[in-house]
Structures are given as structure tokens and as C-alpha cells.
């Protein structure tokens, strides 16, 4: 056990406990101050970012890092810096997710119960590569009232250290404790922290399936994982060809490296010779490589002479259907019925988002209920699975589990609740007075219409 | 890996997937049929229960089992059998927790999003001793639409086997799959099942802290633990003496072996010579043994000559404040302020339920917000922390974690949600049409007032 990790975790819990008596308005103010600290330190931070970029360029040159990862490290590119700062203000302006009453009941005359949202406690958030995520996550944690310990990718260490210093400098100007947001650099610290379930309440890993699985294997702290999306589109027997083309092409090509992009196309065999060839041609036109099964290959060859069939279409092996391509590649599976498609999806998908293209209300209803995924869509692209598109104003990520929060997670995924009860009775309230029998009375259980706790 | 466990888990997941297309009304019907099956098999089940009782009596005689555990095993005592059957009908009559829309938004003209509650999937529920819990939990699982694998205590095996047979016989008469509810007998099967996170979605252990910790250490499946309650009552400097006496005595003595009974009394030093002696005398009158610190002992001796002080009052060691007595014993701690009490509770309690006795609105407000427990009460007994008393109609248990569900858990703790989206657009909906720039449009995000999904 690194004593450093113990100190960090204890510091975070102490900060959380102390912060419970700091009003939410102070958290909004802190976000404004942090934004200003970052703005004032822009040159310094971008200079540190340049060091990360230089090291990354050497890795790219040596063939050990992809160009796209290098690009994700760059804080100065395009409007990324300004977006990061504006994001702080956007989140600070969202409604406070804490203090909201979701259940209120008068249990007896003068005995009132309120279920009220409150922060979870201490979050340990682990993510990869992009340095601005430190700022995004710190913003979400502060807005929702949680203390947080953040670990970014080692490739962005220089940038992360300076971003964290700015956040700490901002916090020091507020009533919030200075250990409210802490960052760590090493994997060893993560390992030590994963053992400290007395201080840490939730681990949020954002990254690959293997990162999430590895963390789940090594902690008894609850884990809200954000991992792979193995999304699919199903062309039902009543699929409209124009909708099918638009939705499949968008689901695959709008942003291929996103987790809500489609990786698998499932074709009802009834449309193999009608809808499927049109969809395939549109995909080939969009430079999409197709990994197909025998029926879909035969149907395509019989109906189309698209010039790319030879070079862009190849047989799928079993692994193709379990692969998150994250590129312009799509696996294609032919199945004989809607129910076969539902069973196949439930067995193969990552339970992220699936869409049906259909003109049948009955098929749509069966699909949305029978498919066990966080998103079940009718005639809409899988790419809509996103916190901003859903209207949450921000996004912690897209949770691939089904406990606590599922699918795109907004600020309300970072809160839990507590039950507050108040007796206004002259003698207080005790439980032994309730029940059946002599001198006992029943509970009243009259719902109270309240949005906030009145005491 | 026992292949038996693999088959059980796969069977449960298959049953869950199939059940998604069975209407909720069928689940209510199944509960009625199961109740009737149990009623028809009463003699047979009580005969099996007699075998368990006989074996338990031998354990009691040998000093290896407590009388209270023997009593908990007895299905025939008092109105337990009838209560068990009535409980099935009570739960079946509660509102369906699934299909409820908690967020609905029109993202664009003709593009509607619904967040709708749905079952979690496959539950693995592990509990101790009382055989009727098999029936209670099966009822909760069926009502909420989850498949379940149940493991009871080995002491009730004979009873549990016959109760399970009745449940299976009932399910066989319905449209629900016969592997929807399964029971297992051995710890080895539990160990194997804890590795099968591809089939099992949530583990619910109900029992001791060590049971819950052991399970958390041995699975990557999310765990919703129901374990110890180390509840406390705090006597604030403005505490009313009559309220203090009533609330402390009720919190301690109403049902000492319950998890929502108080184990610790915290006394503000300002009331050491006023409120505390009266409370102590009432506790001594109620046969409560007191483990006290030096200030509370000195104050009690100075103010009271209660005849039980010599025999019922003794010094507390550090361990006393971390012990769930579950009996007529109460630890007493003196602290100098409200804020010291809050810090002490947050460090020592099991975050279950804490109550303040106070006449100060300010102290009450600070206590309910600053104490990080599932229940924070003002002038009310900790014994109110209970699903029935809260008005939920039933109770899965009292969750001691803070993820997914916290405190008393009703049926809504056994559901998650999914996002259903429908495009009514003539061309379906694709994501690349939205955004800023040429030919792009913004999202509409108009909230829809809907309680159920209209498609």
C-alpha cells in the first residue's frame, strides 16, 4: 500500500464530508474561478502540452502510436481550448442535480419523509489520452458535489499536471476544500486506490473493454464502466429502402471511431434481394468495407455489379461479429426472422444501442422491448445515443452496465439520494406507536407534492 | 467451473430474454398461481420444514445454534405461513415498477425519446436462515420482471427445496419460462456463479457484513449489499428531554436485533448533566446495558442513583463503537459539538440511519445535510428506516451501499431503464443532419409529458 494513495483517498473523503455543508452556489462560483485560472495560464499550459506532443510525435515516428492519438493529445488545435473553457460555463449553468426531491410522504401527522438527491461521495475516474478530459470531469464532479480523484493517460502527463494546478489554484480561492479534486499520475497509485473502498465510493473507467474489465477484477468498489459499443442496425422484412440506406450509412460513417457507431448490420432474409443490395452499394460508395456471410454475399453478387465488390467485400469469420471495428468496416449477418435477430443481438451485442428499420408498428414494439440494450431505436441512427443529443446538456460518458445509470449519463448519473425525515410532533415520533393492536395506529402515507426539502 | 452453475446461469439469462415479450399482467397472474400451488402443498412443505427444525434442534442442543435462529427457521409458527401467502398477493397488487417513463423529449419534429423503466436482468440473491425469504424474493423478482437465482441458508434446505418446487410448478402453468426462478443449495455453486458476469447482472447478498464483503471480493458483478446497521442517535445541546427519552428508548428497544436499531448514543457535552441522566435512567429501566465513556459515566454517577448503574453500566472500549450489538446494549459517546458529532458519525457509522434530537432548526438542517447516511432523521426513531414504514408496500432489504439504490429498497430498486427512440419522419432520422453549419439544424429538445411509451 502506497501511503501516498492512502493520503489521497483520505483527503478526498474528508473534502467530500466537509463540502456537504457548502452551498451549491459556491460550487457554481468555483467553476467560474477555475475557468478564469485556466484562461490566465493558457500559454503555460499549451507549452506543457507541446512537450507531450513532442514526445508523442517521437512515438508516432517510431510506429508505436497512431496519428489519431497524437491528434487527440493536442489542446491547441482548432477551437479545442475555447470549447474546453466554454464547457465549464455550460455545465455550471445546468440545473443543480442535488437537492431534488423524488419521493415525499407524510407518514403520520407531523412526520414527513423526503427522498432527496445528493452527491455520491468520492469518485475515482480513470481515462485515456485526451488531456482536456481532466477539466471536463473535474467540472462534472464539482457541479454534482462529488470529490474526485482523476487519472489521465500517461501520454498527457505534462498537460494534465498544469491543468490540475490551475484547478487546485481555483479551488483554493473558494470555500471548497483544496483536496476536493486531486489528480494522480501512476498506475501503481490506481492499484492502491482500488483497495480503499472505505474512502472511494465509485470508480468510473472510460476506455477500452479491457481497461474496464481489469478494474472490475481488481476492486470491490462499485464500477460504472464506459467501454465498447458493439451497436447494430436490423433491416426488418418491412424495411423502407430509402430509410435503410440513410440510417445504415449514417450509423456507420458519421463518426466511425465513436462507440455509438454501428459495427454490425443484420439483414432479414426476406429483404436480401431488395433492400440489402441498395444499402450495400451506398456503403461501398462511402468507402465502407463489408465483412459478409454467405447469403448476403450471394444476394449482393446476384443483384449488383458495384466496382468495389471484389476489393471491399470479404467473408466474415465468427470474430467479426464480436469486433468493435471503430473504422469504415461493417460486419453483415443474415437471419430468418425478427425473433432470431433479437436473440442474436442479445447474445452478441455490448447492450449499448440497436436500431430497427421497419414499417411495422408491431415489429418496432417487439424489437424495442425484446432487445436488452440501453438504447432501442426505431428508424433512427445509432449515432443519436449521446448525452448532448438526448438533451442532458453534458455527458459523463455512455455507461455499458445497467446498474445505477445506463446509456448516456448526465449529471444525474453522478448523484444518489438520502432519506431525510422530520418529526414536528410535540413528543417526536417513535416506531412502537404504529401497527395493529391496542394503542397502535396505522401509517398515513399521504404523498407530499414537494420539489425541495422544506427544512 | 461447475457446468451445473453455467447451465443455471445460461438458463436464467435465456428465461429473462424470453420474458421481455411476456406482458406484465402474466407476471401478476403467475404470482396468484404460485400462491395457490403453495397453499395446496402446505402439509408437504411443513413436513419438510419439520425435518429442518429437527436437525436445528440437535444443533441448539449441542450449543452450535441459537434459539433465535431455530425460531426463524419455523414456517409453521404463529401466522407466518398465512403472512407469507398474503405477502405474495400484496406484492402482486402493487403498481408495476416497469414501463414507467421518467424522461421524454422530442429531439426533432417526429423524433421522440423515452427513458422507460425495465427489469435489470438476472439477479443472484443470497440470504440466510429464514426459508420464507425464498418466496418473498421470488415474488419481488417476478413482480419486477427479473429472472432470479436464489440461495438460502443450508439450515433450511429441506424447506427451501419444496418451496422452490411449488414455485416452479406454478411457473410451469404460465407463459413465463420455467428457468425464470431457480434455487441452488451449495456454496460451491455460488462461487461458480459469481464468475459468470456475462449472464448475471446483479448480486444481492442479505446477511452479515462479512457475507457482503466476501462476495464483493469475489466477483466483478455489481453487488447491492444488505448488511449491518450501526445506527446512532445524537442528543444535541437543545435536545428536549422527553423527546430524547422516547426516541432513544424506541431506537434501542423496539426490536434490538433489527439493523435499524440504534447501537450508539452520542451526547453533546452541554446536556451531560441534564438530558443524558434522564435518558440513561429510562434505558436502565428498559434493561439496556450501557457502554460509556468517562464524561458520560461521571455525569451519570453525579446525577443519578439508579440501582442498575453498578451492574448495567461499564466502560466502552474503542471496539464498542464499531460493534452492531443487536441486543439490549448501547454504546455512549460524549462529544463537544454538533460538528464533532457529524465528523464522528461519518467516520464510525455504517451510513445506514442516524437521528438528531434537537429543538434547533439550524442544527437539524446541518445534521441532515452533513451526515452522510442513507437516512438522516430529526426527532424521530431510527426504527422508521424501513420500506413498509416509508410506504413502499414491500422491501427488498435496506441497501448499505449508495449506488443504484440506497436505504430501504422497494420494487423500484430492482429495475433499471432503457432509452427507446422512434422516428416518425418520412425518411427516418440520421445524426449527420444536426449541428451547426450548412444544411444542419439544431435539436428541438421539447419535453414530452408522458407516463408510458406510446408505441
Reading the block at residue B109, the C-alpha cell is 419534429
Which residues have C-beta within 8 Å of that of residue A394, sequence separation ≥ 6?
A87, A90, A91, A94, A140, A387, A388, A410, A411
Is residue A182 classed as helix, strand or coil in its secondary structure?
strand
Q: What is the pLDDT of residue B238?
A: 98
Residues A333 and A264 sit within 8 Å (Cβ to Cβ): yes
A376 and B422: CB-CB below 8 Å? no
B404 and A401: CB-CB below 8 Å? no
Residues B331 and B323 sit within 8 Å (Cβ to Cβ): yes
Is residue A370 classed as helix, strand or coil in its secondary structure?
helix
Chain segment B32-58, per-residue pLDDT in tens: 999 999 999 999 999 999 999 999 999
Buried b (16+ CB within 10 A) or exposed e, B39-68: eebeeebbebbeebbebbeeebeeeebeee
Residue B17: which of A224, A346, A419 has the nearest Cβ?
Answer: A346
Same domain (yes/no): B356, B251? yes
Reading the block at residue A224, the C-alpha cell is 460504472
B240 touches chain A (CB under 8 A): yes
Interface subset of B 15-34, CB within 8 angstroms of A: 16-17, 20-21
Residue B418: which of A246, A346, A375 has the nearest Cβ?
Answer: A375
B343 touches chain A (CB under 8 A): yes
A21 and B429: CB-CB below 8 Å? no
Q: List chain B residues with CB under 8 Å of A420.
A: 368, 375-378
Q: List chain B residues with CB under 8 Å of A346.
A: 17
Chain segment B112-149, per-residue pLDDT in tens: 999 999 999 999 999 987 899 999 999 999 999 999 99
Kindly state whether residue B432 falls inside one of the protein's structural domains.
no
Is residue B357 classed as helix, strand or coil in its secondary structure?
strand
Q: List chain B residues with CB under 8 Å of A379.
A: 422-423, 425, 428-429
Task: Examine the pLDDT at A252 and tell me if it is beyond 60.
Answer: yes
Reading the block at residue A424, the C-alpha cell is 414536528
Q: By percentage, how much of chain B surpasses pLDDT 90? A: 90
Reading the block at residue A77, the C-alpha cell is 488545435
A406 and B417: CB-CB below 8 Å? yes
Chain segment A310-346, per-residue pLDDT in tens: 999 999 999 999 999 989 999 999 999 999 999 999 9
Q: Where are the alpha helices (DSSP H) in B375-420?
A: 387-390
Kindly state whether residue A446 falls inside one of the protein's structural domains.
no
- Using alpha carbons, list the distances in angstroms from residue B210 to B226, B228, B260, B454: 11, 9, 18, 46
B326 touches chain A (CB under 8 A): no
Q: What is the pLDDT of residue A68?
A: 81
Q: Which residue has the cell 420455467?
A: B178
How many angstroms away from the CA of B241 is the closest CA of chain A?
A: 10
Same domain (yes/no): B127, B221? yes
In DSSP terms, which residues pair with A441 in a beta bridge? A434
Same domain (yes/no): B274, B189? no
Task: Examine the pLDDT at A131 and tell me if it is beyond 80.
Answer: yes
Residue B366: which of A21, A361, A377 has the nearest Cβ?
Answer: A21
Which residues have C-beta within 8 Å of that of residue B265, sequence separation ≥ 6?
B232, B233, B235, B248, B252, B279, B330, B331, B332, B333
**What span, in angstroms and rounded, lies between the C-alpha atoms of B166 and B42?**
10
Same domain (yes/no): B207, B251? no
Kindly state whether residue A157 falls inside one of the protein's structural domains.
yes
**What span, in angstroms and rounded, lies between the C-alpha atoms of A82 and A92?**
16
Residue B381: which of A201, A377, A431 has the nearest Cβ?
Answer: A431
Backbone angles phi, psi at A314, to 5 degrees: -145, 165
- Note the ipTM here: 0.94
Q: By percentage, how much of chain B surpasses pLDDT 70? A: 99
**What span, in angstroms and rounded, lies between the C-alpha atoms of A221 and A213?**
13
Same domain (yes/no): A202, A237? no
A6 touches chain B (CB under 8 A): no
- The length of chain A is 455
Q: How many CB atoms neighbour CB B85 within 10 A?
A: 17
B250 and A383: CB-CB below 8 Å? no
A107 and B389: CB-CB below 8 Å? yes
Interface subset of A 54-73, CB within 8 angstroms of B: none
Residue B343, CB-side half-sphere exposure with 13 Å CA sphere: 9
CATH assignment of the domain containing B354? 3.40.309.10
Kindly state whether residue A286 falls inside one of the protein's structural domains.
yes
Same domain (yes/no): B189, B242? no
A445 CA to centre of own chain: 37
**What span, in angstroms and rounded, lies between the C-alpha atoms of A364 and A381?**
14
- Boundary-marking domain end, from A336, A358, A391: A391
Q: What is the 3-state secondary structure (H, E, C) of A236-298?
A: CCCCCHHHHHHHHHHHHHCCCCCCCCEEEEEEEHHHCCCHHHHHHHHHHHCCCEEEECHHHHH
**A374-383, B38-47, B156-165, B393-402 — which is least confidently predicted?**
B393-402
CATH assignment of the domain containing B113? 3.40.605.10
Chain B residue with minimum CA distance to A365: B455
How many angstroms away from the CA of A166 is the closest CA of chain B?
A: 28
Backbone angles phi, psi at B405, to 5 degrees: -145, 150
Count contacts between A and B (CB, < 8 Å).
250
- Boundary-marking domain end, from A399, A414, A429: A414
Chain segment A136-171, per-residue pLDDT in tens: 999 999 999 999 999 999 999 999 999 999 999 999
B442 touches chain A (CB under 8 A): no
A205 touches chain B (CB under 8 A): no
Q: What is the pLDDT of residue B3?
A: 63
Mutate to test the interface with B, among A96, A109, A403 (most CBs of B within 10 A): A403
The secondary element (H helix, E strand) that includes residue B17 is helix B3-19
Residue A402: which of B120, B243, B384 has the nearest Cβ?
Answer: B120
Chain B residue with minimum CA distance to A348: B198
Chain segment B96-116, per-residue pLDDT in tens: 999 999 999 999 999 999 999
B256 CA to centre of own chain: 17
Kindly state whether residue B403 falls inside one of the protein's structural domains.
no
Task: Examine the pLDDT at A2 and tell me if it is beyond 80.
Answer: no
In DSSP terms, which residues pair with B291 in a beta bridge? B314, B331
- Pick from A145, A243, A217, A141: which is nearest to A183 by CA? A141
Kindly state whether residue A118 falls inside one of the protein's structural domains.
yes
Buried b (16+ CB within 10 A) or exposed e, A17-39: bbbbebeeeebbbbbebbbebbe
A379 and B242: CB-CB below 8 Å? no
- Pick from A438, A33, A431: which is nearest to B255 by CA? A431
Which residues have C-beta within 8 Å of that of residue B186, sequence separation ≥ 6?
none
B301 touches chain A (CB under 8 A): no
Is residue B57 classed as helix, strand or coil in its secondary structure?
helix
Chain segment B379-411, per-residue pLDDT in tens: 999 999 999 999 999 888 899 899 999 999 999
- Pick from A344, A384, A34: which is nearest to A180 by CA? A34
Same domain (yes/no): A210, A237? no
A385 and B419: CB-CB below 8 Å? yes
Task: Examine the pLDDT at B280 and tell me if it is beyond 50.
Answer: yes
- Pick from B196, B202, B226: which is nearest to B121 by CA? B202
Chain B residue with minimum CA distance to A202: B403
What integer is the mean pLDDT of A81-107? Answer: 96
- Pick from A340, A371, A355: which is nearest to A264 by CA? A355
B416 and A402: CB-CB below 8 Å? yes
Chain A residue with minimum CA distance to B403: A404
**What span, in angstroms and rounded, lies between the C-alpha atoms of B139 and B146?**
10
The sign of the CA dihedral B186, B188, B194, B200 is negative
β-pairing, B231-235 vs B353-357, is parallel
Chain A residue with minimum CA distance to B203: A403
Chain segment A318-328, per-residue pLDDT in tens: 999 999 998 99
Chain segment B286-326, per-residue pLDDT in tens: 999 999 999 999 999 999 999 999 999 999 999 999 999 98
**What span, in angstroms and rounded, lies between the C-alpha atoms of B84 and B137?**
11
In DSSP terms, which residues pair with B123 in a beta bridge? B148, B202
Q: How many CB atoms neighbour CB B32 within 10 A?
A: 14
Residues B49 and B73 sit within 8 Å (Cβ to Cβ): yes
Chain B residue with minimum CA distance to A108: B389
Residues B128 and B73 sit within 8 Å (Cβ to Cβ): no
A220 touches chain B (CB under 8 A): yes
Averaged confidence pLDDT in chain B = 95
Q: What is the pLDDT of residue B323?
A: 92
Domain count, chain B: 2
Q: Which residue has the cell 508516432?
A: A60
How many angstroms away from the CA of A437 is the closest CA of chain B?
A: 15
The secondary element (H helix, E strand) that includes residue B84 is helix B80-92
A389 and B202: CB-CB below 8 Å? no
Same domain (yes/no): A248, A184? no
How many angstroms away from the CA of A239 is the closest CA of chain B?
A: 11
A419 and B407: CB-CB below 8 Å? yes
Residues B346 and B354 sit within 8 Å (Cβ to Cβ): no
Q: What is the pLDDT of residue A67?
A: 87
Reading the block at residue A382, the C-alpha cell is 445509432
Task: Examine the pLDDT at B1 and tell me if it is beyond 70.
Answer: no
Reading the block at residue B375, the C-alpha cell is 437516512
Chain segment B201-224, per-residue pLDDT in tens: 999 998 888 889 999 999 999 999
**What span, in angstroms and rounded, lies between the C-alpha atoms of B2 and B19?**
26
β-pairing, B397-399 vs B289-292, is unpaired
A417 touches chain B (CB under 8 A): yes
Same domain (yes/no): A357, A314? yes
Kindly state whether residue B397 falls inside one of the protein's structural domains.
no
A381 and B430: CB-CB below 8 Å? yes
A387 touches chain B (CB under 8 A): no
Beta-strand ranges (E) seen in B143-272 are: 147-151, 181-184, 202-205, 231-235, 262-268
**What span, in angstroms and rounded, lies between the C-alpha atoms of B294 and B237?**
19
Chain A residue with minimum CA distance to B113: A390
A392 touches chain B (CB under 8 A): no
Residues B421 and A380 sit within 8 Å (Cβ to Cβ): yes
Same domain (yes/no): B255, B220? no
Residue A331, CB-side half-sphere exposure with 13 Å CA sphere: 20
Q: List chain A residues with CB under 8 Å of B418.
A: 373-376, 406-407
Same domain (yes/no): A84, A112? yes
Q: Which residue has the cell 436505504?
A: B407
- Pick from B227, B230, B208: which is nearest to B371 by CA? B230
Entry pTM: 0.94
Same domain (yes/no): B204, B253? no
Q: List chain A residues with CB under 8 Å of B423.
A: 377-380
Domain extent, residue A293, equals 231-391
Kindly state whether residue A162 falls inside one of the protein's structural domains.
yes
Task: Examine the pLDDT at B450 and tell me if it is beyond 90.
Answer: yes
In DSSP terms, which residues pair with A113 in a beta bridge? A105, A421
Residue A406: which of B364, B416, B445 has the nearest Cβ?
Answer: B416
Chain segment A428-437, per-residue pLDDT in tens: 999 999 998 8
Amino acid at each position: 500500500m502506497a501511503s501516498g494513495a492512502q493520503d489521497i483517498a483520505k483527503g478526498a473523503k474528508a473534502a467530500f464530508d466537509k463540502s456537504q455543508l457548502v452551498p451549491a452556489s459556491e460550487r457554481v462560483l468555483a467553476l467560474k474561478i477555475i475557468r478564469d485560472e485556466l484562461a490566465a495560464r493558457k500559454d503555460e499550459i499549451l507549452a506543457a502540452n507541446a512537450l507531450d506532443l513532442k514526445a508523442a510525435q517521437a512515438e508516432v515516428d517510431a510506429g508505436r502510436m497512431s496519428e489519431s492519438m497524437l491528434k487527440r493529445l493536442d489542446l491547441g488545435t482548432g477551437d479545442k481550448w475555447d470549447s474546453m473553457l466554454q464547457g465549464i460555463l455550460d455545465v455550471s449553468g445546468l440545473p443543480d442535480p442535488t437537492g431534488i426531491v423524488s419521493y415525499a410522504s407524510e407518514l403520520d401527522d407531523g412526520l414527513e419523509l423526503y427522498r432527496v438527491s445528493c452527491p455520491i461521495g468520492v469518485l475515482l475516474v480513470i481515462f485515456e489520452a485526451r488531456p482536456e478530459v481532466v477539466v471536463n470531469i473535474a467540472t462534472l464532479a464539482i457541479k454534482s458535489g462529488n470529490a474526485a480523484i482523476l487519472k489521465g493517460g500517461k501520454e498527457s502527463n505534462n498537460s494534465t499536471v498544469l491543468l490540475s494546478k490551475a484547478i487546485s489554484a481555483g479551488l483554493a480561492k473558494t470555500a471548497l476544500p483544496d483536496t476536493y479534486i486531486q489528480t494522480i499520475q501512476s498506475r501503481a497509485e490506481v492499484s492502491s486506490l482500488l483497495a480503499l473502498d472505505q474512502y472511494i465510493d465509485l470508480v468510473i473507467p472510460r476506455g477500452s473493454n479491457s481497461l474496464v474489465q481489469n478494474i472490475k477484477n481488481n476492486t470491490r468498489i462499485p464500477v460504472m464502466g464506459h467501454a465498447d459499443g458493439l451497436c447494430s442496425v436490423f433491416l426488418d422484412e418491412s424495411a423502407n429502402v430509402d430509410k435503410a440506406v440513410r440510417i445504415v450509412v449514417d450509423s456507420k460513417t458519421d463518426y466511425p471511431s465513436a462507440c455509438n457507431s454501428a459495427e454490425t448490420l443484420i439483414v432479414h432474409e426476406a429483404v436480401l434481394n431488395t433492400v440489402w443490395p441498395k444499402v450495400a452499394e451506398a456503403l461501398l460508395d462511402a468507402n465502407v468495407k463489408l465483412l459478409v456471410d454467405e447469403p448476403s454475399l450471394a444476394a449482393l453478387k446476384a443483384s449488383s455489379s458495384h466496382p468495389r465488390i471484389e476489393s471491399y467485400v470479404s467473408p466474415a469469420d465468427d470474430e467479426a461479429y464480436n469486433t468493435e471495428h471503430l473504422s469504415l468496416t461493417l460486419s453483415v449477418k443474415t437471419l430468418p426472422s425478427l425473433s432470431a435477430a433479437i436473440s442474436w443481438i442479445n447474445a452478441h451485442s455490448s447492450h449499448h444501442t440497436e436500431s430497427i428499420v421497419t414499417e411495422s408498428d408491431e415489429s418496432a414494439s417487439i424489437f424495442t422491448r425484446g432487445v436488452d440494450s440501453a438504447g432501442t431505436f426505431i428508424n433512427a441512427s445509432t449515432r443519436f445515443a449521446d448525452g448532448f443529443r438526448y438533451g442532458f446538456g453534458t455527458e459523463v460518458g455512455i455507461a455499458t452496465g445497467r446498474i445505477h445509470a445506463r446509456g448516456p449519463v448526465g449529471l444525474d448519473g453522478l448523484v444518489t439520494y438520502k432519506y431525510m425525515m422530520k418529526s414536528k410532533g410535540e413528543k417526536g415520533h417513535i416506531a412502537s406507536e404504529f401497527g395493529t393492536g391496542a394503542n397502535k395506529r396505522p401509517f398515513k402515507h399521504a404523498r407530499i407534492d414537494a420539489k425541495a426539502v422544506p427544512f
